[in-house]
Each structure stands twice: as structure tokens, then as C-alpha cells.
């Protein structure tokens, strides 16, 4: 319905009542889980092979964001009053986006490696080295930075009712341009990786269900990892991206005085999704566990497959090669 003015969103104080508690919980669980996960990673570094490069960078992306959460707790607890300066506001939002799209990028890399290891084990075994993983990691970081650096050029702070806001997106004056940028970033940083992950694990499921020479334990672990990724995307990533863009559209319509009844619902749902999306920093360490367990089982399976193909046991050289490459 059209109107000459829009009523303020009801429950506007919802972020203050909800987000600080979520941030504190994620901070505690995330620091403990990521600290344990990184310790486990370093302890098993040689055993994991080249995929450990992605897991390590996934942990780094999580830790960078977790270290900004205390400032966001203070910000929301003060009623959205940012007291840490304009520059640090941009740094905080940059770390959030770095964690978000870096995590999606490295989860995509892990999914592709798992796909190659299950579907094409003999074709890629020994051909993908840790140097390749390092190069791919650098490319992921570069692509993520290309996607999120434009966000730094949008206005992030403004003073309203004697409080200093630190926008997750930008000020109302630039919200229309930001929506176009956000849609492009959602496509390249979220939708395309999601399609790659779905394609990889769709094929993996087919292989696991049709091949009889794959260990049942390996099948269960691959399916558990797929379940974790489904939860991660369904709870954290998909709602956030959908609701963020809907909320931006609602802000544009509000500015144009084209009020709709769904504005309140979208606002509350978006604030809830902001709390849910940060849960990825607490869920990601589960990936460490399944990569640790899964790769050990994969190596045993590859050895059996190789013996079945050649009719002879694997040579010590090949055994070392499998252990050092992780594929």
C-alpha cells in the first residue's frame, strides 16, 4: 500500500536484545572450537596432506572475525552507538565479509578436493601437490578481496539522535547503489560457490551409492560432512543473503515512501539472520574433525583400489606419496 510516510519498524530495539547474546556465545564457542581445531590441524599436518592448507585458512578467516565480536557486543549493548571510530567500523565490517566469503570459498575448495578424491582418485592421486593448494588459496583470498573491497567505499557511519551508527551495509543515501553491489556480490561470492558445492556432492553421493568397493565408514563420513555443509548453508548463509537483499529493498521503498506491511517481518528476520550467519565461525571447526577422519579413511580406500587395479600391493614410494598429498 502507498503512504505519504512510513511508520517506524516495530521492535526496532530487537538487535540490542538479541545480537549481543548471540555474539558472546559464538565468541566463546568459536575461540575454543577453532583453537582446538587449529591445534589438531597442526598436530596432524603431515597426515592430512594438501587439503590442510584450506582448512588452516578457514580457521584464520574464523579467528579474524571472532576477534571483532567484542566490539560488536559493546555496539549493540549500547543501543547501536559506535564509539570506536569510523575507520575501525569499516575494519570490523571488512573482517565480517572476509570471514563470510573466505569461509564459503575455502569450503568450496574442500568440497572440490573431496569430489576429486572420491570420484577420480586414480586420476588425481599424486598430481595435486601442496604448492597447488597454496596457489589456489592465494587466488581465493584475492577473489574475496576483489568482491568485498568496494564495500569499504560506501558510507559506514552516521550520527542519528546523538548516537553513532556503524552500518552493516551503508547509509540510506547510498542504499540503492549498495543493493546493486550486494546482488552482484551475492551472485559471485555465494550463489556460484553454492552451485559448485551442490554439483560436487551430488556426484559424490551418486558414486558412494553405486560403487561397492568404497568403505561403508567412508560413505558415512562423507554423508556427515555433506549434512554439516547443508546445515551451514541452510542456517547461516542462505537466510542471510536472501534477507539482507530484501531488507535493502525495503529500505529503498521506505525512502521512497512506498510502505509495505512486510517491512517489519523482513527487518526482524534479517536481524535474526545476522545472528545466525556468525554461527559459521562456531560450526566450521566441525569440518576439521571430518577432514581429519575422512582423509585417513580415503587413503586406506585408495590403497585397496590400487591393489585391485594392479593386483600388487602399493610400493613404499606410492604410500608416501598418498600420505603427503592427501589425495
pLDDT at 49: 62
Classified by CATH at the fold level, domain 14-298 comes out as Rhopdopsin 7-helix transmembrane proteins (1.20.1070)
pLDDT at 67: 92
Model confidence pLDDT, tens digit, residues 118-164 = 788 777 766 778 888 899 999 999 999 999 999 999 999 998 778 89
* 196 touches 168 (CB < 8 A): no
**Helices in 130-237 by DSSP H: which ranges?**
130-148, 175-186, 192-210, 216-231
pLDDT at 195: 95
Q: Which regions of the chain are under pLDDT 50?
A: 1-3, 294-302, 309, 311-327
pLDDT at 168: 92
Identify any residues that bridge with 164 across adjacent strands, giving them in sequence order: 159
Q: Tell the residue number behind the cell numbers 570490523, with chain if given.
A: 92
pLDDT at 325: 36
The three-class DSSP label of residue 166 is strand
What residue spans define the domains of the chain?
Answer: 14-298
Q: Give the C-alpha separation, 210 to 187, whole Å.
A: 33
Q: Give the C-alpha separation, 160 to 31, whole Å.
A: 34
According to DSSP, residue 313 is labeled: P
Taking the model in full, what pTM does it have?
A: 0.84
CA dist 223 → 36, 50, 116, 162, 201 (Å): 23, 22, 16, 52, 9
pLDDT at 37: 79
Amino acid at each position: 500500500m502507498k503512504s505519504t510516510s512510513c511508520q517506524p519498524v516495530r521492535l526496532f530495539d530487537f538487535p540490542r536484545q538479541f545480537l549481543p547474546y548471540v555474539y558472546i556465545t559464538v565468541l566463546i564457542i568459536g575461540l575454543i572450537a577453532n583453537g582446538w581445531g587449529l591445534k589438531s590441524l597442526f598436530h596432524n599436518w603431515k597426515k592430512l596432506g594438501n587439503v590442510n592448507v584450506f582448512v588452516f585458512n578457514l580457521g584464520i578467516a574464523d579467528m579474524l572475525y571472532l576477534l571483532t565480536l567484542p566490539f560488536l557486543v559493546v555496539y549493540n549493548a549500547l543501543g547501536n552507538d559506535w564509539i570506536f571510530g569510523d575507520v575501525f567500523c569499516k575494519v570490523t565490517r571488512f573482517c565480517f565479509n572476509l570471514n563470510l566469503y573466505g569461509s564459503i570459498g575455502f569450503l568450496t575448495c574442500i568440497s572440490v578436493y573431496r569430489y576429486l578424491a572420491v570420484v577420480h582418485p586414480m586420476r588425481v592421486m599424486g598430481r595435486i601437490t601442496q604448492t597447488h593448494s597454496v596457489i589456489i588459496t592465494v587466488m581465493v583470498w584475492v577473489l574475496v578481496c576483489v568482491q568485498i573491497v568496494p564495500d569499504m567505499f560506501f558510507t559506514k557511519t552516521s550520527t542519528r539522535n546523538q548516537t553513532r551508527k556503524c552500518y552493516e551495509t551503508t547509509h540510506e543515501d547510498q542504499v540503492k547503489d549498495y543493493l546493486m553491489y550486494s546482488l552482484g556480490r551475492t551472485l559471485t561470492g555465494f550463489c556460484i560457490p553454492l552451485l559448485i558445492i551442490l554439483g560436487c556432492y551430488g556426484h559424490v553421493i551418486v558414486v558412494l551409492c553405486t560403487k561397492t568397493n568404497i568403505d561403508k565408514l567412508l560413505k558415512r563420513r562423507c554423508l556427515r560432512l555433506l549434512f554439516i555443509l547443508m546445515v551451514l548453508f541452510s542456517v547461516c548463509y542462505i537466510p542471510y543473503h536472501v534477507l539482507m537483499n530484501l531488507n535493502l529493498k525495503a529500505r529503498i521503498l521506505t525512502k521512497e515512501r512506498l510502505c509495505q506491511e512486510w517491512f517489519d517481518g523482513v527487518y526482524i528476520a534479517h536481524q535474526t539472520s545476522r545472528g545466525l550467519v556468525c554461527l559459521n565461525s562456531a560450526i566450521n571447526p566441525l569440518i576439521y574433525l571430518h577432514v581429519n577422519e575422512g582423509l585417513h579413511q580415503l587413503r586406506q580406500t585408495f590403497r585397496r583400489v590400487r591393489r585391485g587395479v594392479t593386483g600388487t600391493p602399493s610400493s613404499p614410494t606410492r604410500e608416501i606419496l598418498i600420505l603427503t598429498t592427501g589425495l
